[in-house]
Amino acid sequence: MKMKANTKLVLTTIVVIAVAVLVSIFALSSWQTPTQQTTATYTATTETTPTPTTIQLSGMINGAGATFLNPQMQAWASKFYELTGGRIQVNYQSIGSGAGQAKFREGVLDFAGSDPPLKADIYNEFKDKGGIIQFPVVIGTIVIVHNIPTVESGKLKLTGEVVAKIYLGEIIYWDDPEIKALNPELNLPHEKIIAVHRSDGSGTTRVFTAYLAKVSKDWKDKVGSDFTVAWPVDQLGNGVGGKGNEGVAAAVKQNLYSIGYVETAYAYEVGLKVALIQNRDGNYVLPTREAVESAAKTLVTVLPRAYEDWSHIFPDETVDAPGKESYPITSFSFVILRQVYDDPVKVAILKEFFQWVLTEGQKDENIVKGYEPLPPEVSMVGLEGLKLLRTT
């Protein structure tokens, strides 16, 4: 009896688990059909619209990537959700440019947001898979922020070389002669500089280190530029890592006598003190609209096509742009798409949304504080590129 009961119970258990597994497998395999139905809800408009768009698509597109782009992307997605009456749901999650590119490579995202363009190796990988397009959606700037109680925002003057030396661990105290020489009028304390940097794979780090590499040969030789780098200042114990722009901003706010680099939007929002930085022409500048527009003029001269590899140009060639007013750490923030998607509805939604982003989305009322809209010729790169989207 006991043995029999044992066998029966084991059998029942196995059957139940098998049924559970089968049900989930069935659920998995039957997904294709209901999915297509849910995403492909074609709703014919009753009124006759002058545009050829007589079929309105509805559905969700999923993107992730740059934390920098997040506030702006949420603002666009929210506005577009309203404009389409909830028809199109753009879902963007801020996981960092590095993670965004990696997940894009694995094919689990419809689009990626990234501060630098797609890495060359991923770009080449997609050549056989129908290719990618990438285009700027907004202009971003990185500011050097600090937390010296005795110094107000917009007063501290720094050069790229000095910033590089701080992160190299060669300048340790705020009253270092090199900093004092730039700021004779400021009362700088004899305190150790806590250098805050990103701990995660970050497009902000990629752009910031590209700038340091351009202005400091030492930095270029010893550290270089990447999504994450080995920070020399960490080895001295004076470095602090923060996750995301949020984390760096918080770390600078919490640590007295710290320095950090964040996207401008975050500096404004958290209320951090911003340092003036010397541009190539020798002037000390803040990321004002004029300073960004001046820098963008140079960016415009080197624009590739959306389907081309941008990795060798941005950001290494474009940081530290010439021009009297130019802000030196100015860069684009990119959106990266595959050229080929399985789902025609997805293609249509991606086109509709990003066309809006590159036109209406660039108007002042749709741009969040801390970002700058694209010059028209830059928007054209994306608008042209979107024509390449297609289904298999």
Q: Pick between residue 28 and residue 44 the one whose CB is nearest to other proteins.
A: 28
Using the rule CB under 8 A, is 26 a contact of other proteins? no
Using the rule CB under 8 A, is 34 a contact of other proteins? yes
Q: Pick between residue 264 and residue 318 the one whose CB is nearest to other proteins.
A: 264
Q: Pick between residue 94 and residue 97 the one whose CB is nearest to other proteins.
A: 94
Contact pattern from residue 291 through residue 310 relative to other proteins, giving x for each residue in contact according to CB under 8 A and a dash for the rest: --------------------
Using the rule CB under 8 A, is 91 a contact of other proteins? yes
Report the C-alpha gap between 279 and 320 in whole angstroms: 7
Helix (H) or strand (E) holding 237: none
Amino acid type, 244 = G
The stretch among 73-81, 297-305, 354-362, 382-390 that binds other proteins (CB under 8 A) is 73-81
Q: Pick between residue 249 and residue 296 the one whose CB is nearest to other proteins.
A: 249
Using the rule CB under 8 A, is 236 a contact of other proteins? no
Q: Out of 249, 275, 321, 381, which residue is the one contacting other proteins (CB under 8 A)? A: 249
Strands 258-263 and 239-242: unpaired
Q: Pick between residue 141 and residue 278 the one whose CB is nearest to other proteins.
A: 141
The stretch among 49-57, 63-71, 123-131, 175-183 that binds other proteins (CB under 8 A) is 63-71
Do 97 and 335 meet the contact criterion of CB atoms below 8 Å apart? no
Q: Pick between residue 84 and residue 362 the one whose CB is nearest to other proteins.
A: 84
The stretch among 68-76, 131-139, 191-199, 220-228 that binds other proteins (CB under 8 A) is 68-76
Name the site residues for other proteins (rule: CB under 8 A): 1, 4-6, 8-10, 12-13, 16-17, 20, 24, 27-28, 31, 34-35, 38, 60, 62, 64, 70-71, 74-75, 77-79, 81, 86, 89-94, 106-109, 243-247, 249, 265-266, 269-270, 368-369
